Structure 1
Amino acid sequence: MERPVLLCGLGRVGWRVLDSLRAAGLSVVVIDIKVDPSDPRLAGVTALKGDCRRHELLEQAGIKDARGIVIVTSDDLVNISTALLARKLNSTTRIVVRMFNQNLIARFGGAVKNTVALSVSALVAPVLALTAVTGDALGAFKLDDGPRQISELVATEDSELIGQRIADLAATHGFTPLAFVPAHGDPQFLLNVNGSATLTPGDRLIVCGPPAALQKLLQRLRGDLLAGVKWAGTVRRWVRTARRTLLEVDLSVKIITPVLFITLLISTLTFRYGIGTAWGDGLYQTVSIIATGGELHGENKPEWAKVFISILKLAGAALVAGFTAILTNYLIRARLGGALEMRRVPDGGHVVVCGLGNVGYRLVQELIAMGERVVAIDKENDGPFFETVRRMGVPVFVGDATVPEILRQARSDSAKAVIAATSSELGNIEIALLVREMGPKQRVVVRLSEPEFAEAVREAAEIRHAMAVPALAAPAFASALYGDSVQTLVSAAGRTLVIIDLVVNDADDHLNGKSLRAIVLDYALLPVALSGRDLNDVRGYRLKVGDKLTIVAELPDYERLLRLQRPAAVSRVIVDTFPATATGVLATHVRLQRGCAVEEASAIMSQLPFVLNEGLTRGEAQELTEQLEREKVVTRIE
């Protein structure tokens, strides 16, 4: 009986993880406090209702024989408690646990052996950020020299892709083809992608490459080339700042301030023309009387002047007291920092992030790492990431992003992209529609929860980049069961592709000394990076300790490699003919492959065709054939 995978928690993320585990062909037992075992969506899955922190329920689910346990409830304490209990009940099984607390992610995984802690926000932020910058991303992973983006290129009727060979496109734009889905014909994946195929209307090509290179191609294909960040002049930015500052002043301050200054003007005019003082003396006398209650200088004062001064003292005291109280109250509540942010907002070419929760904060980090200019909007100024983001040099506006004026202040209409990443799905939809009103072609990335709802938004509201976060994160939880080396899973043309880092740790590692070419062919792996080496120059290369090989594979093929399932060794290489110039090289191969002396090798080579070697895997035979073909030796594999 196949060892099961235990899945604890069937929330929004849990359902998507279940789909990924099913796609990987794994046997699953679900534990959830509210699960209905009769739910038709659970067909073929064992479901247990109850608290996953109960050891008897974990034992009933088969924890002692489980190949792994994935814990994805929405409570960090529940997740940690379940993980510790599972480790107590089974000291070797793989544990994958969901974490919200950013400080615990790395620490918990390091403290509990064979445990991986993952954050949904950290998993989805790179994809959302790449989608905002490039306009399209199926997934993302990281290499030593930077991130890689997985995108789909569609050959439309008027596309520049029509008539071009896949290999030529890959060389020109620096990407690696992962899958080719012709409009008429069967899909091709990884090593089977025909590089000489010419694209026709309706063909789809799934590729991975550096984001910067793919961004230029994708933008050109869509016809939405964007300029860089645009800045207004210094004067214009400060005028914009002053205007917003005045708009934020309370109405009471706006009323009492002109009343105070009108009083000063009237009093100064009275002293100048009624009593005959100079302009400066009149203003000085007025301020002295209002501020200190002092007397008018001079010995002879008309009766009306005494009355005027008395009234001025009373009115001045009230005005000064009221002005001081109202202005002090305003300054205490005022968000002048937000007004000053206006001068740091570009006129265009930046990315606006709405919402500074876990996902929003991760998005800001990713965008800054990509060299993008970011402007953030958040409802509250006391969130856990608010001041951190400001210290990163990002202008942050406090306000509701569903209010059009707030979006205008962030210059959303001319931004490169707007990401609606608040915790409210309704609010995110509203933000997207408002931005589309400002600019019908504006790129908007919308954070949602349900894949079906996201698809409806994409089709009905024509918001192309409505993305379901749980669906994006779920494959990573499933892939973590296979080891720390798995970066992510991507669904491409109906197949599940996995991106893996294979590291040769020591001399006893099963990969040490193995031929790279043979492994790639035997297990249908597509290499994308090797310890900083050029993959175009690894002929005859054998893996050694310290090497890190990043590959893309279909999940069943990776499982075969992980389980050390050796491919069938039933192939043999037959030499049909060879030129005289290849005699020496071929004789060396015969002696090495057949383990014979020089005379015996010559005798074997004199009787064509002859079997050079047998009992080889398909990859080993193909590698040997490729080596001989470079010497013009004609061979075949049987």
Structure 2
Amino acid sequence: MVICGDDGLAHRLAVELDAVCGETVTVVLPSGREYGASVAVLHHDPHSPVELLEATHPDERTLRDAGVERAAALALTYGDDQVNMTAALLARSLNPSIRLVVRMFNQERGRHLERLLDRAAAQGDDPAQDTSTTVLSDADTAVPELVAAAAVGQGHTLQVEGKVFRGVVRRAGSPPHPTDLTTLAVLSGAHQDDPASEDSPETPGEDGTQLLPDTLTAYHRQFTHGRLMLEEVTHHRAPEPAVRKLRGRLAVWLRGRLGHLPWKVFLSREVTAVFGVLAAIVVALATATALFADEHPWWKNVYLPLLDIFTMGDPATDESVARRILQLIAGFVGLAVLPLVVAAAVNATEAFRAASASHPPEDGVRGHIVLVGLGKIGTRVLARLRTTDHQVVVIERDPRARGVSLARELGVPLIIDDAAAPGVLGLARIGQSLSLLVLTHDDGENLDIVMAAREANPAVRAVMRLYDDDFAATVQRTLRASYPDALTRSRSVSALAAPSFAAAMMGRHVLGVMPVERGSLLFTAVDVAGHPELEGRSVHEVFRKNEWRVLAVGAAGTQTEPSLSDTLAGLRLDRPGFDWRPPQGRILRAGDRVVLATTRRGLDILTTGVQPHPADRRD
């Protein structure tokens, strides 16, 4: 495996592959990068297969030195789409059979690149070999994890044929839930809110974590240990019909939208000061006109100075000298005052427009999710959250942010203001909310917002996006210690995206990777035909303790599996549906396809044909 990158994603991907793939991993990083030291630690670990190569650009010489010509997979995770695309084309020419995973921000360009490189790989001698090209966006792959953390508390997500699953921890002694599908692991402690946490304890021996335990072990230890269960997320809903959506928006508008308009911006200090000065000038000129120009009737004493100030009056050539002098004075005063009047009016109008864009939630709203930030990731998170039954309130300080129009289109309560400003979180009813999801670009601001929210609602479930992964881990431990009864998640996008990139590097049959304490579980889709460990056996007989477990059974299709990026996006696999609660006595036939949860050793057995040790026990 080869990884080429220039940021935290390359480091996190190396850590992920070090834990799950069992292959030599060569990481190419520019010299002097802060993540180089972390990769060097893995490199010097005698038990780690990670190698470090320092190079500035992924040119032909660098790729050859990294061993791309004989590598099984290459991940290109640079922040520049052009660099990734050029390196992918070069790598395909050096090794037509290599599996490529490319990070691309421009998804349309990524789809074109994926088709181009797959067509080039199709010309190889071995059509059965997995020479796939997978284009992923770290933002898109991180969104399901952020949504799961905010909506349901914790748990890494898995998406297959349009259904969403997650790993959820059950406390010791807690009863089973109807949405639980199977036990993935028995944890080392009585309860852990995050089985993937790097500071999770691990006790060797019988009391340690057991991945894919047998039924007897899972039953007896459920009373003393926490359990990681695979749960089907059932709260998704279909989008509302257009007519009903339009009717709902109209009702919201008529229910008091006009009453919430911020008319008070026209009474701001700047506006009242400017128009107060203008009124004083008019009064002074009207008094002078009455005293020296002797205009009649009285209203002319006000009317004529106003015309002069706004340069709308005729020249007073036939009037008295006093009248002509006053007209000149009024004209010069108008030149000085009019720019201030126009500026005040424009500023007030802009403030009115920005403030009127806000639509705070109603007083009765509670149990909702407060989302702060509508940038690239925040917009995707909002779209995903609105497919669930959770109510969302959004805070965004930039009225021109990319997600503001989506929030208005969805009819989501929207507050255009700085979430760190006093009173803004209260306006979003943070005290009655279930979760807070903070996704701005500033790590310090994100932390400030979460700490302010904790003061208002100590029990709120807080999820924040932090770029620095070490900083994220430190923040999470600190907030967990300060608020032990509240759930806090701080994750970098690279840490959330790394499992998806690792799964893509291991092949399209790998659907996802789920960290569990010091280990990992892999989810893979396998055709039963040709696997003696599966074919002709029942679901019960196929189970291998600590190696693999059948999660779902479906019919094997004849068409090619779609890209992992499509699977992560929640699209249906191009196959008939899976039965996620298969009978234990069901016999697996050659025409079946199964979804398995496996350990790394279990996947090695399935892919290489190495048989398990005879001492291994079945359920």
Partner of 2:223: 200
Partner of 2:185: 179
Give the RMSD, CA atoms, in angstroms: 4.6
What letter is aligned with 2:262? A
Q: Does 1:477 align with 2:531?
A: no
Q: Distance in 1 between matches of 2:43 and 2:346?
A: 59
Distance 1:180 1:508, change over 3 A: closer
SS, match of residue 585 in structure 2 = coil
Partner of 1:556: 601
Partner of 2:43: 42
Partner of 1:93: 98
Q: Distance in 2 between matches of 1:46 and 1:265?
A: 83
SS, match of residue 140 in structure 2 = helix
Q: Does 1:325 align with 2:325?
A: no
Q: Distance in 2 between matches of 1:197 and 1:244?
A: 66
Q: Distance in 2 between matches of 1:23 and 1:475?
A: 11
Shift in Å, 1:543: 4.2
SS, match of residue 230 in structure 2 = strand
- For 1:131-280, list aligned pairs within 5 A: 131-134=149-152, 136-144=153-161, 146-155=163-172, 161=173, 164=175, 169-171=176-178, 173-181=179-187, 183=190, 185-190=207-212, 192-194=214-216, 195-197=218-220, 199-200=222-223, 203-211=225-233, 239-242=259-262, 245=265, 249=268, 251-257=269-275
Partner of 2:359: 343
Q: Distance in 1 between matches of 2:394 and 2:409?
A: 13
Shift in Å, 1:106: 3.5
Q: Does 1:542 align with 2:588?
A: yes
Between Structure 1 and Structure 2, the one with more helix by share is: 1
Structure 2 contact 521–600 (Cα < 8 Å) conserved: yes
What does the per-residue CA deviation read over 1:221-245, in whole Å, with 9 as the maximum and x for residues that have no partner?
Answer: xxxxxxxxxx999877655443675
Partner of 2:125: none
What letter is aligned with 1:432? V
Q: Distance in 2 between matches of 1:38 and 1:494?
A: 18
SS, match of residue 229 in structure 2 = strand
Shift in Å, 1:140: 0.4
SS, match of residue 343 in structure 1 = coil
Shift in Å, 1:246: 5.2
Q: Does 1:13 align with 2:9?
A: yes
Q: Which of 14, 22, 25 is equivalent to 1:28? A: 25
Distance 1:500 1:245, change over 3 A: farther
Shift in Å, 1:145: 5.3
Structure 2 contact 11–39 (Cα < 8 Å) conserved: no
Partner of 1:110: 115
Distance 1:97 1:40, change over 3 A: same
Distance 1:395 1:196, change over 3 A: closer
What does the per-residue CA deviation read over 1:533-561, in whole Å, with 9 as the maximum and x for residues that have no partner?
Answer: 3634473343465x553322112212322
What letter is aligned with 1:558? L
Shift in Å, 1:129: 1.2
Q: Which of 428, 448, 466 is equivalent to 1:448? A: 466
What does the per-residue CA deviation read over 1:491-513, in whole Å, with 9 as the maximum and x for residues that have no partner?
Answer: 11432101223367xx8999997
Q: Distance in 2 between matches of 1:398 and 1:359?
A: 18
Structure 1 contact 87–93 (Cα < 8 Å) conserved: yes
Q: Distance in 1 between matches of 2:340 and 2:9?
A: 55
Aligned structure 1 segments of 4 or more residues deviating by more than 6 angstroms? 231-237, 259-268, 275-279, 281-295, 309-320, 507-513
Question: Larger radius of gyration, structure 1 or 2?
Answer: 1
SS, match of residue 426 in structure 1 = helix
What does the per-residue CA deviation read over 1:558-586, in whole Å, with 9 as the maximum and x for residues that have no partner?
Answer: 23223344668x89xxxxxxxxxxxxxxx
Normalised TM-score (structure 2): 0.70
- For 1:419-438, list aligned pairs within 5 A: 419-438=437-456
Distance 1:356 1:108, change over 3 A: farther
Structure 1 contact 118–477 (Cα < 8 Å) conserved: yes
Q: Distance in 2 between matches of 1:510 and 1:85?
A: 39
Structure 1 contact 37–48 (Cα < 8 Å) conserved: no
- Unaligned ranges ≥5, structure 1: 156-160, 215-230, 269-274, 296-302, 572-616, 623-638
The count of residues paired between Structure 1 and Structure 2 equals 526
Q: Distance in 2 between matches of 1:17 and 1:93?
A: 18
What does the per-residue CA deviation read over 1:136-178, in whole Å, with 9 as the maximum and x for residues that have no partner?
Answer: 22300113353112122233xxxxx45x5xxxx144x444321
Judge which range, 455-464 or 469-478, deviates more.
455-464
Distance 1:353 1:74, change over 3 A: same
Q: Which of 393, 410, 420 is equivalent to 1:402? A: 420
Shift in Å, 1:335: 4.5
Shift in Å, 1:8: 1.1
Q: Distance in 1 between matches of 2:51 and 2:336?
A: 77
Partner of 1:129: 147
Q: Distance in 2 between matches of 1:126 and 1:533?
A: 23
Q: Which of 500, 515, 522 is equivalent to 2:524? A: 500
Structure 1 contact 256–319 (Cα < 8 Å) conserved: no
Q: Distance in 2 between matches of 1:512 and 1:207?
A: 23
Distance 1:38 1:123, change over 3 A: closer
Q: Distance in 1 between matches of 2:280 and 2:587?
A: 88
SS, match of residue 404 in structure 1 = coil
Structure 2 contact 549–596 (Cα < 8 Å) conserved: yes
Shift in Å, 1:88: 0.8
Q: Distance in 2 between matches of 1:11 and 1:411?
A: 37
Judge which range, 186-195 or 51-60, deviates more.
186-195
Q: Distance in 2 between matches of 1:37 and 1:283?
A: 78
Residue identity over aligned pairs, in percent, reads 22
- For 1:569-608, list aligned pairs within 5 A: none
Flag the structure with more relative contact order, 1 or 2, with Cα contacts below 8 A and sequence separation at least 6. 2
Shift in Å, 1:310: 8.4
Structure 2 contact 308–331 (Cα < 8 Å) conserved: no
What letter is aligned with 2:604? E
Shift in Å, 1:94: 0.9
Partner of 2:390: 372
Normalised TM-score (structure 1): 0.69
Q: Distance in 2 between matches of 1:326 and 1:52?
A: 51
Distance 1:62 1:532, change over 3 A: closer
SS, match of residue 440 in structure 2 = coil
Structure 1 contact 291–316 (Cα < 8 Å) conserved: no
Shift in Å, 1:91: 0.2
